[in-house]
Structure 1
Amino acid sequence: MEVQSALALWVWGCNIFSGVYNSSLTPSHLPWNTYNYCNAPHVNAERYSRPTDPDAHLVYLNSMMRHHKRTPDNLYPNERELNPASGWDWECGSQAYLDYVDGTAPVFPQSSVPDGHPFASAVWNGSCGAGQLTREGLEDAVQHGKDFWSVYHSTLGFLDEVVEEDIYIRTSNEPRTHHVAGGFLYGTDPGTWAARWRLHTQPALIDSLVPSYSCPVANAIRSAYQLAPEWTEHLLRNQDLQTRLGETLGVKGLQAWMSWYDHFFDTLTSRTCHGHPLPCNASGACVLEEDAMRVFALGDWEYNYIWNAAENASEYTRLTFGVMFKELADNLKRFQAGKETYKLRLYIGHDGSMIRLASGLGLGANTPLRWPAMGSEVHIEVWRDVSGFDFVRVMHDGIPVQSLDWIPFSRFVELLEEQVPADIYGSCMYGGI
């Protein structure tokens, strides 16, 4: 654990890439809203600030958040040798991940590797599957629900009960988003364990929350600007790091790993956030602490470049998240027309969901965007003043967004609709021709 403690302190001293990568708990000597990749800061009663208009009241809420801590989504070719002997077991083995049809026997899947399996080297020891919500991730989701309820129920009196008539929840098709939804709901009211709750999803082929719908034009845009000098020079400047990691982790020459730092970021942060040591191979070569820090900083740079700073990044975001922006705009227009039946629409997605939402809302206009942390959130609050006019205030990871702190409702709807191409299907498939 000595390495992990040093990790957070060293990273904290790094210019704009400061933050915590080794614990869900932010050290008390740091500001409460310090970037914490393992568990993002979020709204809570102690820190929440109301709008400056004392007579306004909250009338509608749309929220989006990333799931909480999980096991790595990407595995090394020789994953088993790069983990401690215990592997990933404690994080998942003590809880049941239920998965059954109502009215039948309650069943739950649990991962295991039989002794002598000829391909066992490709996975770790233990009962965790790849990308699975861990026990600590579930605990963070429960606390997130408690803190959310402390604001929107206890402080503002906006939500009265935890009931489906008031709260619509949409997730992706990944089980970890379903499990986070359950933990979040339990945090708002432990009585929800006895209720059945509908999680709205879209078919994986067209899911706009991930997003996963096909968009060849967007793919071409991204491919083009990842051939630009700014990107290729970034890879060349860090060739020493890439080579060292590739050799240590057995991924040298694999395009998925060598083309960017996404996979390295995922596998290293998943370990440090759960208190696991940085990986060492059979020869004794280990990922160095300073190399992990470079990966974290490079991951931030790449996410900001791809979705915010590169030429045509805004168009890439519009194409790949335009369907989701349309849904958010439609929600608000439905509310304005008096046809909305929910007080809250909550979306539980992924880092790709959150980075696109942040980019489209302009959160990266003045400050580079960071890789969305676990549990990162955006709340779109609709407030009504005494004259009956509606205003929107956006909260990001616990604090109001300065540029979106109090803007007319109609203007915010326009902002969302500006992120939706007129013919998004045609634009995705044929470039609007």
Structure 2
Amino acid sequence: MTLQNATGVYNTSITPSYLPWNTYNYCNAPHVNAHHYVKPNDSEAVLVYLNTMIRHHKRTPDNLYPNEKELNPASGWDCTDFIARDYAGRTAQVYHETIIPDWHPFASQIWTGTCDAGQLTRQGLEDAIKHGEDFWSVYHDELGFLDKVSEEDIYIRTTTEVRTHQVAGGFLYGMDSSTVNNKWPVYTQPENIDDLVPNYGCPTANTIRAAYQSVPAWTNHLARHQDLQDRLDATLGTGGLSAWSSWYDHFFDTFTSRTCHGHPLPCNSTGACVSQEDADTVFALGDWEYNYIWNAAENATTYNQLTFGVMFMELARDFKRFQSGDERHKLRFHVAHDGSMIRLASGLGFGKISPLRWPAMGSEIVMEVWRDQNKQDFVRVIHEGTPVTTLQWVALEEFIGLLEAQIPSNIFETCMGS
């Protein structure tokens, strides 16, 4: 195992000006924007269709330490600057505010303040709005492809997580602030079969992943960093918890959520704190683990296809609908999660170019369809604002074939082992 330094930005949504604009920024991924957008080489080609997937933007930690309250600043997490609406049509327009009573017998398990775990923050909403502005600056202002923000032109697909709905709203508002008064549907699938997370059950895939996380390539990387694990356990009270010792996912989430919002790394009541050096190692380990699980491990491709095959089926159907002339939308826009983005990146072959990294907040993959002067359609894929070298001009039929190649035959029966 070769562990690379976790180069990039982990403490602000604004990439410092002394770094390249497309530097990896975990807090707010680079994305298409008018300042750096590059048109295809074929100057006669015309953009005719868009299909895009992004990860939601910044949120509070999704994982909690056993004694979370102790490990946060006394001020805790404040979400009173973000109105979270949630109401049924033709009823009172209620919104919710999180309360965390000091008297609650289990209050030690959550921070002080007004935020729930995994909640989109005001800063995350602001990033989503800016993301929408930048997207509009390219596909409306620069290319004139999207002429209005309307349901007729734009189809929004999200997961059942509220933060994906809120990011969709922020994105639409960024494209056109007049949508603040609009009622706009976001389409979801039932949680237990949602292919966008993905969330459908696949025991066969679970067995495959367990197998390649039981070999030396994986177990040795955990053993090699046992001193780090011991230090973190001692500081954070996570000793003996398999969810924290089986990989570095939870530590990565809790550290980055803090640093991206300007919070310090956690310190316990004895004054012991997670060091920046240890946090940097966790960030690098997170990248290595994500690349291994979804790209580099033996049978990672099969695991990826089983767990995201239904989403690849959905995407293939989208492009075939466009190909047949039955697509009435100009843009299909998906708001998803890190597990969605890493699977899409792997399935499209990004990991054959260079090792995959943990998908950042607001991570973006844009699939453009261009029509040349001979009326032939080609796909160009843009990842984090930069065209993908192997997918810069691929015949539409070939691209559909790439998507369909990621769909296992009889996927339901294969997943269930029947």
Q: Classify the TM-score, shorter chain.
A: over 0.9
In structure 2, which of residues 211, 215, 229 is the aligned counterpart of residue 228 of structure 1? 215
Following the alignment from structure 1 to structure 2, what is the Cα–Cα distance between the partners of residues 114 and 428?
A: 44
Following the alignment from structure 1 to structure 2, what is the Cα–Cα distance between the partners of residues 168 and 116?
A: 45
**1:115 Cα shift?**
2.9
Alignment of 1:391-402 (within 5 A): 391-402=378-389
**Structure 1, residues 83-135: CA drift from partner, whole Å, max 9, x if none?**
0000001xx11121000001100111111112311111111111110000001
Q: Secondary structure at the match of 1:24?
A: coil
- 1:56 alignment counterpart: 45
Q: Does the alignment pair 1:159 with 2:135?
A: no
- 2:291 alignment counterpart: 304
Q: Does the alignment pair 1:82 with 2:71?
A: yes
**Structure 1, residues 288-324: CA drift from partner, whole Å, max 9, x if none?**
1100000000000000000000000000000000000
Q: Does the alignment pair 1:23 with 2:15?
A: no
Following the alignment from structure 1 to structure 2, what is the Cα–Cα distance between the partners of residues 170 and 334?
A: 16
Q: Secondary structure at the match of 1:241?
A: helix
**1:182 Cα shift?**
0.5
Following the alignment from structure 1 to structure 2, what is the Cα–Cα distance between the partners of residues 358 and 84?
A: 36
Q: Does the alignment pair 1:390 with 2:377?
A: yes
- 2:408 alignment counterpart: 421
Following the alignment from structure 2 to structure 1, what is the Cα–Cα distance between the partners of residues 345 and 235?
A: 35
In structure 1, which of residues 27, 30, 37 is the aligned counterpart of residue 26 of structure 2? 37
In structure 1, which of residues 241, 261, 284 is the aligned counterpart of residue 228 of structure 2? 241
Q: Does the alignment pair 1:352 with 2:339?
A: yes
- 2:262 alignment counterpart: 275
In structure 1, which of residues 339, 361, 373 is the aligned counterpart of residue 348 of structure 2? 361
Following the alignment from structure 2 to structure 1, what is the Cα–Cα distance between the partners of residues 292 and 121?
A: 30
- TM-score of the two chains, using structure 2 as the length reference: 0.99
Q: Secondary structure at the match of 2:47?
A: strand
**Structure 1, residues 13-62: CA drift from partner, whole Å, max 9, x if none?**
x9563100000000000000000000000000010000000000100010
Q: Secondary structure at the match of 1:378?
A: strand
- 1:68 alignment counterpart: 57
Following the alignment from structure 2 to structure 1, what is the Cα–Cα distance between the partners of residues 325 and 263?
A: 51
Alignment of 1:192-231 (within 5 A): 192-231=179-218
Letter in 1 for 2:414: S
**1:215 Cα shift?**
0.2
Letter in 2 for 1:374: M
Following the alignment from structure 2 to structure 1, what is the Cα–Cα distance between the partners of residues 358 and 100?
A: 33
- 2:163 alignment counterpart: 176
Q: Secondary structure at the match of 2:207?
A: helix
**1:366 Cα shift?**
2.5
Q: Secondary structure at the match of 2:192?
A: coil
Letter in 2 for 1:219: N
- 1:3 alignment counterpart: none
Alignment of 1:105-120 (within 5 A): 105-120=92-107
In structure 2, which of residues 76, 86, 89 is the aligned counterpart of residue 99 of structure 1? 86
Q: Secondary structure at the match of 1:183?
A: helix
Following the alignment from structure 2 to structure 1, what is the Cα–Cα distance between the partners of residues 42 and 101?
A: 62
Letter in 2 for 1:41: P
**Structure 1, residues 163-204: CA drift from partner, whole Å, max 9, x if none?**
001100000000100110010000000000100000000000
Letter in 2 for 1:177: T
Q: Secondary structure at the match of 2:351?
A: coil
Q: Secondary structure at the match of 1:93?
A: coil
Change (3 A) 1:405 1:16: farther
Letter in 2 for 1:63: T
Following the alignment from structure 2 to structure 1, what is the Cα–Cα distance between the partners of residues 331 and 407?
A: 23
Letter in 1 for 2:268: N
- TM-score of the two chains, using structure 1 as the length reference: 0.95
Q: Secondary structure at the match of 1:304?
A: helix
Question: For structure 1, which segment, 344-353 or 105-114, has the greater mean C-alpha deviation from structure 2 after superposition?
Answer: 105-114
Corresponding pairs, count: 416
Following the alignment from structure 2 to structure 1, what is the Cα–Cα distance between the partners of residues 276 and 265?
A: 8
In structure 2, which of residues 362, 368, 375 is the aligned counterpart of residue 375 of structure 1? 362
Letter in 2 for 1:193: V
**Structure 1, residues 340-385: CA drift from partner, whole Å, max 9, x if none?**
1111000000000000000000000031000000000000100000
Q: Which runs of 4+ in 1 moved over 6 A?
A: none
Following the alignment from structure 2 to structure 1, what is the Cα–Cα distance between the partners of residues 113 and 5?
A: 37
Following the alignment from structure 2 to structure 1, what is the Cα–Cα distance between the partners of residues 76 and 28?
A: 22
- RMSD of Structure 2 on Structure 1 (CA): 0.8
Native 8 Å contact 2:6 2:281 kept in 1:
no
Q: Does the alignment pair 1:259 with 2:249?
A: no
Q: Secondary structure at the match of 1:286?
A: coil
Q: Secondary structure at the match of 1:168?
A: strand
In structure 2, which of residues 328, 335, 338 is the aligned counterpart of residue 341 of structure 1? 328
Following the alignment from structure 2 to structure 1, what is the Cα–Cα distance between the partners of residues 102 and 14?
A: 37
Native 8 Å contact 2:154 2:333 kept in 1:
yes
Structure 2: unaligned runs, 5 residues or longer: none
Letter in 2 for 1:125: T
Q: Secondary structure at the match of 1:131?
A: coil
Letter in 2 for 1:27: P
Native 8 Å contact 2:4 2:284 kept in 1:
no
Following the alignment from structure 1 to structure 2, what is the Cα–Cα distance between the partners of residues 282 and 316?
A: 42
Native 8 Å contact 2:267 2:274 kept in 1:
yes
**1:409 Cα shift?**
0.8
